[in-house]
Amino acid sequence: MLSSTTPRQTMRASSGRDALTTTAFFVGDALFLAFVGAIAAAVMFFAHLWIPHGVWNFIVAMTIGMIAAMIAQMVMAFSAAPLLGSIESMVPSMLVGMAAPMIVCAAHILGWEWSFIGACLAGSLIGATIFTAITIYSIQCHARLRCMAERLTGHTEAT
Amino acid sequence: MPGITGWRARLYDACEGSMLRRARHKRNLFREMTGSTLFLAVGTGTDIRYFPPDLDITAIDISDEMLRRAAPRAMQYPGRLQLMKADALDLPFADDSFDTAATSCTMCSVPDPLRALRELHRVLRPGGRLLMFEHVRSRSRILGRVLDIMTLYTRLGGTEMNRDTVPHVTAAGFHIQRIESAYLDIILAIRAVKEPSNGKSAESHRRSSPSMSAGADSTKGVKKKTGDQKCHTPGKC
């Protein structure tokens, strides 16, 4: 019996699907990290807003803000895990969840009082920056893995 | 431990809902299964869909709850797939029983990964292949630290996020053929082989192995490193 699709056609369709999936996850990761950055920065913004100014109050606000931002990041990562992948969402978002609130604190120390929108935009920018760094690292990983395999066994194949 | 595995079984399918992302890598890895195959820690059977048809597969897990959930998926497999309760640290199989051994996110959960790999080495026949889809600690200092922090709470659920599994594979006696990235240097597809015991060199085995010469890209870029030869990508190791 003749098949309606040749193996080459099937492979082409499969690689097309793979490219589409890769692109969808690329966009999904970028949006997710920007969103996590915005929320984490917003959490720290409110911590500084609600706790009165002063040296000790600043430390209290920073501590409470960091803890709240990390909890928010974990909730968002767990929610995104079924779609983006558990490790794939948890690891980079933890970096964003730590860095985005810190930038709000740094601005506070420097006397730059950001608006709510400004804090969210700064957080999104941190998310996008970390996404870019992760993407560059992902490209470097191929060489790293080949190196690791060579070191371990003396033989390897291209990854 | 049974309490934890029972609890994990209930959450497993939701957490592994990211199959779409990992599907391509798993499909490419598990399609290299040949002959009599042992699949370690089958879980709820989410990986069964990636197994090539018409194989004789023994899939084990330590959790009754996981095996119960895997049963309907095992029934749909177009070949022989037997589910069995067994401990990865003490496999109830004779030496040299299998042609292929496969794992999927297993080494993060077994109490002693090196012992589990030695058990796999024992039950694989000489020349048999080990196919692993595993997450490991990143070589990046920052991402490695993030995984260390994550381990503080994932450990409560029985998962270690920061295990350095690749050196364990060689320490158990396997010869690594290829390592592929599924996500950064954290989720890896590892292909290894149990060295033939009849004195045949690894290189001659690799050349004669049908699975290594089948794919267009599987023999591409084979390199041999000897003596003090330097790394191909200096500064990356």
- The pLDDT value recorded for residue B198 is 52
Q: Which residue has the higher pLDDT, B198 or B126?
A: B126
Strand partners for B100: B37, B129
Q: Do A148 and B179 touch (CB under 8 A)?
A: yes
Q: Do A81 and B147 touch (CB under 8 A)?
A: no
Which of A85, A87, A145 is opposite residue B179, by nearest beta carbon?
A145
What is the strand order of the sheet B187-194 is part of? B80-85, B56-61, B36-40, B98-104, B124-135, B187-194, B174-183
The span from the CA of A51 to the CA of A15, in Å, is 54
Handedness of CA B28, B31, B37, B42 (dihedral sign): positive
Closest CA to A69 of A90, A112, A46, A40: A40
Q: Cβ contacts (< 8 Å) between B134 and chain A: which residues? A: none
Handedness of CA A49, A50, A52, A57 (dihedral sign): negative
Interface confidence, given as ipTM, is 0.79
pLDDT band at A153 (very low <50, low <70, confident <90, very high): low
Strand partners for A156: B223
pLDDT band at B197 (very low <50, low <70, confident <90, very high): low
DSSP-based three-state secondary structure for B98:
strand
* Mean pLDDT along residues A109-117: 87
pLDDT band at B165 (very low <50, low <70, confident <90, very high): very high
Interface test with B, best of A71, A144, A151 (most B CBs within 10 A): A144
Q: Cβ contacts (< 8 Å) between A149 and chain B: which residues? A: 176, 178-179
pLDDT band at A82 (very low <50, low <70, confident <90, very high): confident
Q: Do A153 and B188 touch (CB under 8 A)?
A: no
What single-letter amino acid sits at A81? Answer: A
- Using CA atoms in the order B163, B156, B119, A85, what is the torsion angle rounded to 10 degrees? -60
pTM of the complete model: 0.79
| Residue B82: count of CB within 10 angstroms of its CB | 10
* Mean pLDDT along residues A9-28: 77
Q: Do B223 and A157 touch (CB under 8 A)?
A: yes
* Mean pLDDT score of chain A: 84
Q: Do A82 and B18 touch (CB under 8 A)?
A: yes
Which of B16, B176, B236 is opposite residue A149, by nearest beta carbon?
B176
Q: Which residue has the higher pLDDT, B133 or B156?
A: B133
SS (H, E, C) chain A: CCCCCCHHHHHHHHHHHHHHHHHHHHHHHHHHHHHHHHHHHHHHHHHHHHCCCCHHHHHHHHHHHHHHHHHHHHHHHHHHHHHHCHHHHHHHHHHHHHHHHHHHHHHHHCCCCCCHHHHHHHHHHHHHHHHHHHHHHHHHHHHHHHHHHHHHHCEECCC
* Mean pLDDT along residues B210-218: 32
- The pLDDT value recorded for residue B237 is 39
* Mean pLDDT score of chain B: 80
pLDDT in tens, A55-65: 677 888 889 99
Beta strands in chain B (DSSP E): 36-40, 56-61, 80-85, 98-104, 124-135, 174-183, 187-194, 223-224
What single-letter amino acid sits at B2? Answer: P
Q: Which two tokens stand for residue B17?
A: 């809902």
The span from the CA of B172 to the CA of B120, in Å, is 9
The span from the CA of A134 to the CA of B111, in Å, is 31
Is the CB of A90 inside 8 Å of chain B's CB atoms?
Answer: yes
Q: Do A94 and B24 touch (CB under 8 A)?
A: no
CA distance B221 to chain A (A): 5
Proportion of chain B above pLDDT 90, given as a percent: 58
Q: Do B232 and A152 touch (CB under 8 A)?
A: no
- The pLDDT value recorded for residue A96 is 96
The span from the CA of B27 to the CA of B32, in Å, is 9
**For the range B2-5, what are the long-range contacts, defined as Cβ-Cβ under 8 Å and sequence gap of 24 or more?**
B2/B63, B2/B64, B4/B157, B4/B158, B5/B62, B5/B63, B5/B65, B5/B66, B5/B158
* Ramachandran region, residue B195 (left: φ > 0; alpha: ψ -120 to 50; beta: rest): beta
- Tokens 């095992």, located at residue: B74
- Tokens 């295990």, located at residue: B163
